[in-house]
């Protein structure tokens, strides 16, 4: 019976020692958790910004491509370049200088 009490006392002392060490290191553990959360959040924000930047770059490239096409149409005298993707207006509304 005494061997059981010695074993349980050792286990209780071990648990108490672990709890005491964790209590003593609580600020370091909390700091590590905060730093981890900050790093993960920063990485997520940077990834989202990169996605947004790529989408904006693609949008601007599409606008540039369309502008080049419309400019070439205008230089050829095609009314579609002047009015874009919209249907052509009544021919009487097209300025004389453009015909």
- Residue written as tokens 């509304």? 93
d(CA 63, CA 86): 16
List Cβ neighbours of 64 (8 Å cut-off, separation of 6 or more). none
- Residue written as tokens 């108490």? 16
**Higher pLDDT among residues 1 and 68, named by residue:** 68
Q: Domain-by-domain residue ranges, the chain?
A: 10-93
d(CA 82, CA 73): 8
- Over residues 29-59, the pLDDT tens digits come to 999 999 999 999 999 999 999 999 999 999 9
- Work out the percent of the chain whose per-residue pLDDT is above 70: 81
């Amino acid at each position: 019976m005494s061997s059981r009490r010695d074993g349980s006392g050792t286990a209780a002392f071990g648990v108490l020692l672990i709890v005491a060490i964790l209590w003593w290191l609580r600020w370091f553990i909390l700091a590590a958790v905060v730093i981890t959360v900050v790093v993960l959040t920063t990485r997520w924000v940077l990834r989202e910004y990169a996605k947004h930047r790529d989408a904006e770059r693609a949008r601007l490239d599409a606008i540039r491509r369309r502008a080049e096409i419309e400019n070439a149409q205008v230089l050829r005298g095609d009314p579609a370049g002047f009015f874009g993707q919209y249907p052509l207006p009544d021919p009487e509304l097209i300025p004389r200088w453009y015909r």
